[in-house]
Structure 1
Amino acid sequence: MLPKFIKPRFFDALSNMTGRYVQPEPYHKAEGLVKKVYDQVIDEFFINAPMTTHAVSPEMLAGVWMAEREIVLTDNHLTREDKEALGVTISQVNSCAYCEDLMNSVVYGANELELAEQMRYHKQDEIIDERTRLLHAWAQSVYDQDAEILYQPPFTHDEAPEVIGVAMMLSYFNRYAQVFFSGSPLATPISSTTLKSILYRLTGVELRESVLRRLRPGRSIGLLGPADLPQDLQWAAGNSTISAAISRWASAVEKAASAHVPQRVREVVKNEIKSWQGAPMGLSRAWLTPKTVGLNQANAAAVRLALLTALSPEQMSDDIIDAYKEHYNDTALVVTVSWSAFMASKRVTGWLADKTGYFDQHQYAVAS
């Protein structure tokens, strides 16, 4: 295993191997709220570029960290291992190789080798434990609004904030990572299942100490002040810690967006996400053209970036980013991507919560 003082630098470098468009703020330059967040991340998880690239907006960084920690990394009705594994399946659904590989390394690190192998080869239907198999079947169906399992979820009302919360976190990070990372840092230069297995296991060994540590819920909540839980996130209300984390995260994202995403852009993007039902947008980007009619160049560039992030992040390319950067700086870029990913993930969890039957009908169906 790597020496303790080297490990944070190793994972920081590994996680940014495929980074593009923006640079994360290094730990040695962090101060104030950013340093407080980094210190918690290093202590309880591992420093990583999908987290540190948020540092251009300190409150947004704190919000996404507390949501990740309180939803995924702490044990409650579900163990951390359960939730990390669900994250792998959702990452596969969202075609995010970056998150899939890093999260499956965590499952390897938890010594859940059989489960990790089943997910690696997309064989969740071979999971022996029925409860676990059904949870993964639910995760595989998050975009199929007619799927029976969404109406008969394999989790209880009390478990819903965790399970739906995992869907929200990964729907967010998958979109964010597909914009700012060009692929998995564990991708092998040649197509070798043996080499990939070695990389998974080595990374898992280095993560094991962190993965097996039991975290106390609530430690991160004090990083930001209280905020109201939005109406369309009320599915989280049954878990006070998750509710506190998500409400603060939502507030931080909206505050940052108000400062860096033009109001007209937000109006267009919200309207499109509101009507989106989860279907793929198609192979071309022709669907974007009518969305920018009547907009000036700056707003049109921002709308294209935001809608691709939210609805079709796999179609993101350099020309979209270059056109955006002609009008906006890197802080605005990160905030726009973060806000768009957040809005899309909120839309997904809205219909997931609505279909469980555990909550007021249609309370979450429309993204605000």
Structure 2
Amino acid sequence: MAHLYNKDKRTALEAKHLAQLIAHGPIVFQVAKVLRDKGILRIIEEARTGITLADITAKSELSEYGVRVLLEAGLGMEMITVDEEGKYYLAKTGYFILHDALTNVNMNFVHDICYKGVYHLEEAIETGKPAGLKELGNWNTIYEGLSQLPSQQQKSWFEYDHFFSDIAFPRVLKHVYKPENQIKKLLEIGGNTGKWALASTQFDKEVKITIVDLPGQAAMAKKNIEALGLSERVDFYPANVLDENVQFPTGYDVVWMSQFLDCFSEEEIVSILQRCGKAIHEEGAIYILEAFWDNQRFETAAFCLQQLSIYFTAIANGNSQMYDSRVFKKCIEKAGFDIVEEIEGIGLSHTLLKCKKRQLH
């Protein structure tokens, strides 16, 4: 993937146009979202033979002025087209804004979680602190406040997070719980709402799981687990893994971390991995499911991950990112592990790493 960035691919005219899109980025985003949320794109789509400004206005119950400025901005964004008779049609970009699940998950996450906070990016870069987090709440990291977010913001955050893992989990479950792995006890670091634990207990009828997460997150997962009557197979270890003095429970065959270590700096990743090593026996393994921008099949996927890193910088914690796999693997090596398996192309964007303690000869 990195070879895509070896040279400038655009003509001067194309580059200048892109520069203007970037310069107007916040306006472009809000126009697209309002066109979607106010039903204007859907009105245009449903009028398959084209529709006039007057008819769109009548159906939308908005003012003609409001509809007109949105439509004209949408033309420049190539979301819609207009013919010589003044009839509007939905363009391909407008279709994806309206219907594409990935686009909508991204848009909602950016609007509800990132939009105001990213205004403070420069301060975050200068200080190494999540300067934009104050737009959401008074916490040190966003993870401390997830259980306290307003319902709409919480919905957008978890829908974004789960969108990618839900697609990856079916394939990963078959790999992690292969009979030869003989997993009886699994330690999950960063259990979120308990989705992996729930999927695991349904896939493997014997495995027992311990979830380590912040108290607020652990409480959310516990509520979901108890609702399904699985308390005997899933227990909880509330803790702040950022605290290097926090040691994880021991005696496990496997440690599992999904979309978790990207929430931490390189130094923190090393610390967490070293403590994971103490939680498993000598032949135990650590499974890491992550999305690395340099491992993507498509440039669009890499772009999404590269931009998501800014959320971590400005809002989440100030010092983590969606990693280049080469940077991430150095952390694994520094923590004293070898990567014994690597599977790319899982779900939309993920790579599964199986790590074992480095054997000294």
Same fold (TM over 0.5): no
Which of the pair is proportionally richer in helix? 1
Task: Name which one, 1 or 2, has greater alpha-carbon Rg.
Answer: 2
TM-score by length of 1: 0.29
Greater relative contact order (Cα 8 A, min sep 6): structure 1 or 2?
Answer: 1
Q: TM-score by structure 2 length?
A: 0.30
